[in-house]
Amino acid sequence: MSYAENLWLFFLLLFGIIAVPGMDMLFVLANALTGGRDRGLAATGGIMVGGMVHTLNGAVGVGLLMHFVPVLFKPLLVAGAAYMAYIGITLMRSSITVGHDGPAGSRSAWRAFRQGFVTCLINPKAYLFILAVYPQFLKPVYGPIWAQATIMGLLTMLTQGAIYGGLAITAGRSRQMLVANPRATAFAGRAAGLLLFAVSLFTAWEGLKAA
């Protein structure tokens, strides 16, 4: 298999794992619906930076870190699920209202970025992807590992930006319909929180069952 074919196969797998609804996607959706397009894009930016960190972990994992990640996976999964459950509960308990000048009581863009970064960083789905896929595509025969990892990291960021960014823009436009309906706004925020909470429980249960 040539390097181009190897990279194309990696992209197809990457696109599939990012496009499947999960914690990252729901987090972006929650921020865009309750805080508008800018906060949705800020959350997307944080997730993209987290994706680069995952790529670095994957590259290092081909060497030494691979021996330790399986041991750490279970506590990381529990921590990630607990963090997302906390965000979900916070949204469910909130009374978010949206005005023409911005949403009251919503996250700042910087906070959405930071939480997006942490959300991606502790997302169990990302660690599963790294453990299962990265060792198959980072091969010395294709050149320096760091160069391959850089390209894979850029592909990860671009794919996340396209999928999550598009979702944030679409949801942000839908938000305009919520300005005149505070009850619908509160419902959207709480529904997004419930989804985050449900996904965190399901992810933790699936991971612990497989461990």
Write the pLDDT tens digit of every residue in 12-32: 878 877 876 677 887 888 888
DSSP alpha helix (H) spans, 62-108: 69-93
In a domain, 20, yes or no: no
User: Residue 141 — very low, low, confident or very high, per pLDDT cuts 50/70/90?
Assistant: confident
User: Residue 100 — very low, low, confident or very high, per pLDDT cuts 50/70/90?
Assistant: very low
In a domain, 16, yes or no: no
pTM of the entire predicted model: 0.66
In a domain, 27, yes or no: no
**Token reading at 12:** 């197809």
57-61, 120-124, 141-145, 194-198: least confident range: 57-61
How many distinct structural domains can be found in the chain? 1
In a domain, 13, yes or no: no
Domain membership of residue 92 as a residue range? 34-210
In a domain, 111, yes or no: yes
The Cα–Cα gap between 89 and 174 comes to 23
Q: Closest Cα to residue 120, out of 54, 166, 57, 165? A: 54
In a domain, 181, yes or no: yes
In a domain, 5, yes or no: no
Q: Closest Cα to residue 25, out of 151, 203, 150? A: 203
The Cα–Cα gap between 97 and 103 comes to 6
In a domain, 183, yes or no: yes
